[in-house]
Amino acid sequence: PRTPPLSAKHRWIAFATRSSGALRLDAGAVSALTDRGASLLAAGITGVDGEFDAGAVVELRGPSGGLVGRGITEVDSAWLARWLSGERSAAGAGTSSIEKKHLVVHRNELVIER
């Protein structure tokens, strides 16, 4: 079966922009993105490379460092660094269930590498 063509926005994310950084993902996040078409949540991120603002295009990399896709972030790299270091309240997250569900890249704002 043929893959449907990318929209103009998704072509822009995939090809016309330079990434501002990268998010390193665990295997569960990679599976959620590639197999289920899910959004990327904070709980699936294991590391952040580079400094970027919310709204930046970043690369999404799997546990081995391979490119999984590219997407537009909802949060900046400083927030993610605080979140990853365990400073949940400083990052602005509330309860643990909210922390784990915090949206980082919405599925409509990402392109998966095929």
3-class secondary-structure state, position 107: helix
Specify which residues 110 forms β-bridges with: 71
pLDDT the model gives residue 92: 55
pLDDT in tens, 25-57: 999 999 999 999 999 999 999 999 999 999 999
Domains of the chain as residue ranges with CATH? 8-112 (2.30.130.10)
Supply the pLDDT for residue 98. 41
pLDDT in tens, the chain (114 residues): 667 788 999 989 998 889 999 999 999 999 999 999 999 999 999 999 999 999 999 999 999 999 999 999 999 999 999 999 986 555 555 544 445 569 999 999 999 997
Residue with tokens 């990434």: 19
What letter would DSSP give residue 13?
I
Quickly list DSSP for 27-95.
Answer: HHHHHHHHHH-PPEEGGGEEEEES---TT-EEEEE-TTS-EEEEEE-SS-HHHHHHHHTT-TTTTT--S
Structure tokens that stand for 8 in this block: 């103009």
